[in-house]
Amino acid sequence: MLIANLLPLLHRYSLGFDLVAGPDDTVTLTVIPRRIEGGKGSLEAGEIRPISITASAAEIDAEFARGTDGALGQLIATRKTLADQIADQRAAAEAAKAASAEAAKTKAATAPPKPAPSSTSPQPSPAALPAEAKSNEPASLW
């Protein structure tokens, strides 16, 4: 039942296990996802975070017996969904980046050259006072 429940993870990751006996007949099972040798792409930190379960051996066995309805099955399904969403987002970002670059090339190729700015129009001096301002009074915004 353990391997059948972990099969969805095995399609994407190589898995390591750590099994430790604790007090009062408890057991801690840690499943450590790793990048598959020769696998393409990088994994996000959340994808390779270990899954740790601490309970009695009978409770862990019972959770595995529940299959996809058990805690581990639901966690694996959630991780697979998140990994798929991350892959979709990466693909969408790459597609948008390529489309943006293509649009910029097209725009640059079809845009007419900009005319040089004309220096014949007089520019107002920033220090010049408005016509209604008096030199001995502060300027009003109203």
CB-CB contact of 50 with 72 (8 Å): no
- Is 124 domain-assigned? no
Q: How many domains does the chain have?
A: 1
- Is 130 domain-assigned? no
- Is 21 domain-assigned? yes
- Is 54 domain-assigned? yes
- Is 22 domain-assigned? yes
- How much is the pLDDT for 84? 78
Q: Which of 56-60, 126-130, 138-142 has the lowest mean pLDDT?
A: 126-130
Residue 70: pLDDT band by 50, 70, 90 thresholds?
confident
Residue 47 has pLDDT above 90, yes or no: no
- Is 115 domain-assigned? no
Residue 71 has pLDDT above 70, yes or no: yes
- Is 42 domain-assigned? yes
Q: Which domain holds residue 66?
A: 2-104
CB-CB contact of 61 with 25 (8 Å): no
Rounded mean pLDDT of the chain? 77
